Amino acid sequence: MKVFVRNVARTKCLPISQLQLRSFATASESSRIPKINADRFHKTLHETCEKYGAAHRYGQRSDETGMARLTLNDDDIAVRKWLEKEMEKVGCTLKVDSMGNMFFIRPGSKANKALPVAMGSHLDTQPMGGRYDGILGIMAAVEAMRTMHDHNVQTNGPIALINWTNEEGARFSKSMCGSSVWSGQLSEEEAHSLIDVHDKKTTMGQELERSGYLGKMKAHHTAMPLAAHFELHIEQGPILERANGKVGVVQGGQAYKWIQVTINGRECHTGSTPFEDRADAMQSAAKIIVMSKKYARKQGGLASTGLLSVFPSSVNTCPGKVTFTLDVRHKNDASLEAILFEIEREAERICKEESERGTKMDWKISFASTAVKFNANCHSAIQQAAERYVKPEEIMPIISGAGHDSCAASIRCPTAMIFVPSKNGLSHHPEEYTSPEDCAIGAQVLMDSVLTYDQQHV
Amino acid sequence: MKVFVRNVARTKCLPISQLQLRSFATASESSRIPKINADRFHKTLHETCEKYGAAHRYGQRSDETGMARLTLNDDDIAVRKWLEKEMEKVGCTLKVDSMGNMFFIRPGSKANKALPVAMGSHLDTQPMGGRYDGILGIMAAVEAMRTMHDHNVQTNGPIALINWTNEEGARFSKSMCGSSVWSGQLSEEEAHSLIDVHDKKTTMGQELERSGYLGKMKAHHTAMPLAAHFELHIEQGPILERANGKVGVVQGGQAYKWIQVTINGRECHTGSTPFEDRADAMQSAAKIIVMSKKYARKQGGLASTGLLSVFPSSVNTCPGKVTFTLDVRHKNDASLEAILFEIEREAERICKEESERGTKMDWKISFASTAVKFNANCHSAIQQAAERYVKPEEIMPIISGAGHDSCAASIRCPTAMIFVPSKNGLSHHPEEYTSPEDCAIGAQVLMDSVLTYDQQHV
């Protein structure tokens, strides 16, 4: 490999104690590649979780909690302020756009014309979230910036760390929200007018203003173009763990759609209304939920219901109205459309034929994300980087089940993601867990990938 | 028939305009039986609805709204105050017990020893309720009291009008609440500590105190014994209407139980968790809801789900926990138990075998009401009364699908109910409707039944 690390201050190398990274690089390569400080990284990850949004304790150890750091709540604001301070210490400058997306830029050696190679992810979490989803990607990027600073690494182009706003869509119901405005897939106006799901009086625009993160720069890829976007993330599924994989080279993301389904029936008394006189919205909803899974499974996709509301809510009244969500996914767009077509048609039939007096369905697509293919040059950089630290059989191509900021980024710049294993495939859960060793491998591969890409393509 | 109406002030007879009651009594009988004032009754019914809790407008006419008069809310308090005033005008005295049950007593001609024959029902409604469920029974009793007063009717024993507290169980989750404390089936302590479903900080005891309806008399059948209990109610089902029936002589009530079902699974990401790694509480819940109806139907019973909550609530998280209610009914106790046994066993199987990683079910009975058989003497009084106003083929024996205060009353005194038709069988719905003519027949039959019973058994 090329010598892309210059002026390495070898005396600054920090101990990596228990969290030793294996190295499959040659001795000469190895000596030139800065190693991240896995101890510092581990400590930073958990200390910031503890201070900014820890919740849902499940064990005695200090790191045995989940997270509830919802977009632009006080904990999210506080961790953003912490990030500003830390990035200033390592010589980064900050640009904030009108979506609160934060771009920390470390200058490169080339003059102004080179675009930054970015390491992006998100600091917000689900209300019952864990310590790794999103946070790992940012904290690994923090460690990469610190390591580059410690070792005085000089890159061709600038390197960016990006904290994308509201990736989860848990507080303001659009996931990949900040990155989608940047990519031009979502209008700033629509994003700003999103309403807090727990407080109907508050919009995202108001919270951006209150937090001080309503930046003056337009949230758009033309205002802040990138050379490439890399993201380290936990897999959130069981595939790597099962296959004893260590690094997933993410090929792309599943296509998916969210559907808001409303079933209108007729409320009636549970005791005095024979079945033949009912238009029971709950029965229709339950049948559609069961059926949607069956149809998705048949075609190798996924279908899930995460939200359901009943109206009116009374134990002895059959609901006149039930609303629920369907989250349907498949790795390719055409198959997703085929599944959705079948589910919708069958749902219509259930409402018409299986409810005695007939319920009515309203089917509204609230979010759509086409299948994403990541960039071959980015894959190559990740593959080269990963091969330095893990065995070839521990590196796996993988498809992302979830949506990520990288999916939005990928339509505007070369993009790829790195996955590390999730214990029991658990995610969106307080107990989601990735071992310190796996986190460290991920962070090292992230930094190496970015440096490799910078050397090869900037 | 016996002359049980004395000193009839015939000159006071009021015009019954369009709402003419048919009479099948002989001319000589007819002249002695006071007729209710159907116009006044109709007006009172709708004016009090309009003033105290009208909601959910569905048409242009002033009476085209439903009701949201929840137990002990400000509208319920206001209509109770109105009732006090009106009953004072017709010479009734009021006793309030420690459940806020209101007993308006019109004295009889016998000395103190005779117990009152009561006309009872309830003034509270469902949150999305109509103008007839409960309200009709009270307003018909008001009209009966007014008519007896107008005609100076003298009865053997006292006649009571009872407004039972919290029949619906919609605000404080125990239906037939006040009457069940009176009958000794529910402890006063438990009833007072019931929590407002919309405001976890408020108990029923606090609301009784705030409203001024925490009476000093113990809520118990021994403190306020009754000779008999009659209740006029809308059928809340389609049977009378379909059979062109006018008066249902209610033989008894179905047995029923309410079950609080909790499904514990494991939350996981909807996009990255293959089906085989899921313990999806929503899928298990939906299957149980669909199955419960199938099993109940097979055995001639009913099963319904009126409440369902999902935790956490996030479109891209499979719920780790779902709670819902089952309301299961059958006209006899043994069949109800058989249905419940089957549903519970099958639900356990669904959780164990049909959820990939296995969900767990918690099954808790929150309310139980055994089948009720009403009293033959009461039936006879209703039958005799009904035959004076409608054709024999318009009088039908019927089973009540819903629970009623009369079910609680029936375990402590001779009891029966009178049903009048519900348009389209609709109830627990703003548009529940019974025609003015059918309401008037019901009120007339209610008064006549009570007077007949008083003559024959007191």
Q: Are residues A248 and A385 in the same domain?
A: yes
Domain of residue A64, residue span: 10-253+371-457
Contact B71, B126 (CB under 8 A): no
Whether residues A79 and A137 fall in one domain? yes
Under the banding of pLDDT at 50, 70 and 90, the label for residue A27 is: low
- CB-based contact A275 B269, cutoff 8 Å: no
Helix (H, G, I), strand (E, B), or coil: what is residue B32? Answer: helix
| B160/B88 same-domain check | yes
- In a shared domain, residues A357 and A396: no
Structure tokens at A7: 């002026």
Residue A264 lies in a domain: yes
Q: Are residues A121 and A176 in the same domain?
A: yes
Specify if B71 maps to a domain: yes
Q: Find, among A320, A307, A312, A314, the residue nearest to A359 by Cα.
A: A320
Task: Examine the pLDDT at A367 and tell me if it is beyond 90.
Answer: no
Q: Of B318, B347, B369, which residue is a domain's last?
A: B369
B277 chain-A contacts, CB cut-off 8 A: 237-238, 424-425
Of the partner residues B271, B275, B283, the one whose CB lies closest to the CB of residue A289: B283
Dump the DSSP string for B278-312: -B-HHHHHHHHHHHHHHHHHHTT-EEE---EEEES
Residues B31, B20 share a domain: yes
Q: At A340, is the secondary structure helix, strand, or coil?
A: helix
Quote the pLDDT of residue B367: 87
Asked if the model's pLDDT at residue A11 lies above 70, the reply is: no
Contact yes or no for B273 and A400 at CB 8 A: no
The verdict on B215 and B348 lying in the same domain is no
Mutate to test the interface with B, among A276, A278, A316 (most CBs of B within 10 A): A316
User: How high is the pLDDT of residue A111?
Assistant: 65
pLDDT at B20: 55
For A25, A389, B331, the CA distances from A29, given in Å and listed in that order, are: 6, 12, 83
Nearest to B121 by CA among B106, B110, B136: B136
Task: Report in angstroms the alpha-carbon separations of B151 from B5, B7, B447, B450.
Answer: 8, 7, 13, 15
DSSP code for A172: B
Instruction: List the one residue out of A415, A343, A408, A419 whose CA is nearest residue A377.
Output: A415
- The ipTM is 0.78
- Search chain B and give the residue with CA nearest A198: B313
Specify whether B36 is located in the same domain as B141: yes
pLDDT of chain B, 458 residues: tens digit per residue? 333 333 333 333 333 344 456 667 665 555 567 999 999 999 999 999 999 999 999 999 999 999 999 999 999 999 999 999 999 999 999 999 999 999 999 999 876 689 999 999 999 999 999 999 999 999 999 999 999 999 999 999 999 999 999 999 999 989 899 999 999 999 999 999 999 998 999 999 999 999 999 999 999 999 999 999 999 999 999 999 999 999 999 999 999 999 999 999 998 899 989 999 999 999 999 999 999 999 999 999 999 999 999 998 889 899 999 999 999 999 999 999 999 999 999 999 999 999 999 999 999 999 888 999 999 999 999 999 999 999 999 999 999 988 899 999 999 999 999 999 999 988 889 999 999 999 999 999 999 999 999 999 99
Nearest-angstrom CA–CA distance, A165 and A72: 8
Cβ–Cβ gap B304/A327 under 8 Å: no
In a domain, B96, yes or no: yes
Tokens representing residue A17 in the block: 């104690």
Of B261, B265, B262, B263, nearest to B303 by C-alpha is: B261
User: Last residue of some domain: B369, B395, B410?
Assistant: B369
Helical packing angle, B333-349 and B281-298, nearest 10°: 150
Report the alpha-carbon distance of residue B282 to residue B291 in Å, rounded: 14
Element spanning B118, H or E? strand B117-121
Q: Are B99 and B212 in contact (CB under 8 A)?
A: no
Is residue A3's pLDDT more than 90? no
Burial of B453 (0-12, 13-18, 19+ CB in 10 A): buried
Max Cα–Cα distance, chain B, nearest Å? 84
Q: Are B94 and B83 in contact (CB under 8 A)?
A: no
User: Residue A259 belongs to a domain with what CATH number?
Assistant: 3.30.70.360
Q: Which residue, of A369, A404, A426, is where some domain finishes?
A: A369
CB B309 within 8 A of CB B323: yes
In a domain, B1, yes or no: no
Q: Render pLDDT for B125-173 as a digit per residue (tens, 0 to 9).
A: 999 999 999 999 999 999 999 999 999 999 999 999 999 999 999 999 8
d(CA B421, CA B394): 11
Alpha helices for A264-371 (secondary structure H) = 281-298, 333-349
Q: Which two tokens stand for residue B32?
A: 């002695």
Q: What is the DSSP string of B224-247?
A: S--SEEEEEEE--SSHHHHTT-SE
CB contact under 8 A, A277 and B238: yes
* A304–B282 CB contact, under 8 Å: yes
Q: Which residues are CB-contacts of A209 (< 8 A; sequence separation ≥ 6)?
A: none
Residue A306 to residue B282, Cβ atoms within 8 A:
yes
B428 closest CB neighbour out of A238, A268, A308? A268
Residue A60, burial from CB neighbour count under 10 angstroms (0-12, 13-18, 19+): exposed
Say yes or no for a CB contact (<8 Å) between A268 and B427.
yes
Q: How confident is the model at residue A112 (pLDDT cuts 50, 70, 90)?
A: low
User: Distance between CA atoms of B123 and B139, rounded to whole angstroms?
Assistant: 9
| Dihedral angle, C-alpha A86, A87, A91, A92, nearest 10 ° | -170
Both A361 and A391 in a single domain? no
Q: Number of C-alpha atoms within 13 angstroms, CB side, residue B375?
A: 22
pLDDT above 50: residue A118: yes
Asked whether residue A215 is assigned to any structural domain, the reply reads yes
How many domains does the structure of chain B reveal?
2
| Chain A nearest CA to B402, separation (Å) | 4
Q: Cβ separation of B401 and A271 shorter than 8 Å?
A: yes
Residue A227 in this model has a pLDDT that exceeds 50: yes
Beta pairing class for A102-106 and A93-96: antiparallel
Q: pLDDT for A137-189, tens place per residue?
A: 999 999 999 999 999 999 999 999 999 999 999 999 898 999 999 999 999 99
Query: Tell me, what DSSP letter sits at residue A12?
Result: G
pLDDT band at A202 (very low <50, low <70, confident <90, very high): very high
**For A74-88, b where at least 16 C-beta lie within 10 A, e where not — what string?**
ebbbebbebbbebbe
Sign of CA dihedral B81, B85, B86, B91: positive
Indicate whether A72 and A124 sit together in one domain.
Answer: yes
Site from B316, B326, B364, B407 to mutate, A interface, most A CB atoms within 10 angstroms: B316
Helix (H) or strand (E) holding B49: helix B38-51
Return the pLDDT at A29: 57
CB pair distance less than 8 Å for B266 and A175? no
C-alpha distances out from residue A360 to A323, A343, B268, Å = 12, 15, 30
- In the block, residue with structure tokens 């590649």: A33
**Residue A308, pLDDT score:** 97
Q: Nearest C-alpha of chain A: how many angstroms from B343?
A: 16
Same domain, A193 and A262: no
**A4 is a domain residue:** no
Contacts with A404 (C-beta within 8 Å, 6 or more apart), sequence order: A121, A167, A176, A231, A233, A253, A417
Distance, CA of B121 to CA of B136 (rounded, Å):
8
Rg from Cα positions in chain A: 24
Assign residue B187 a region (left: φ > 0; alpha: ψ between -120 and 50; beta: otherwise). beta
pLDDT range class, residue A78, cuts 50, 70, 90: very high
Q: Which of A136, A133, A202, A138 is nearest to A173 (CA)?
A: A202
Q: How far is CA B92 from CA B136, B149, B161, B223, in A?
A: 20, 10, 9, 18
Which pLDDT does position B27 carry in this prediction? 55
Q: Map B350-402 to HEC letters.
A: HHHHHCCCCCEEEEEEEEEECCEECCHHHHHHHHHHHHCCCCHHHEEEEEECC
Query: Is A247 in a helix, a strand, or coil?
Result: strand
Gap between the Cα atoms of B317 and A402, Å rounded:
11
Instruction: Please say whether the beta carbons of B176 and B58 come within 8 A.
Output: no
pLDDT tens-digit map of A79-101: 999 999 999 999 999 999 999 99
By the 8 A CB rule, do A322 and A245 touch?
no
pLDDT at B110: 75
Determine the Cα–Cα distance for residues B16 and B13; give it in Å rounded to an integer.
9
- Bridge partners (DSSP) of residue A69 are none
| Yes or no, beta carbons of A327 and B426 under 8 Å apart | no
CATH number of the domain enclosing B90:
3.40.630.10
With respect to residue B19, please indicate whether it lies within any of the assigned structural domains.
Answer: yes
Q: How far apart are CA A108 and CA A158, in angstroms?
A: 4
Give B302's contacts in chain A (Cβ within 8 Å): 270-271, 273-275
What pLDDT is stored for residue A28 in this prediction?
A: 54
**Neighbour-count burial of A59, counting CB atoms closer than 10 A to its CB (0-12 exposed, 13-18 middle, 19+ buried):** exposed
CA nearest B273 in A: which residue?
Answer: A237
Q: Please check whether residues A248 and A260 belong to one and the same domain.
A: no
- In this prediction, residue B29 carries a pLDDT of 57
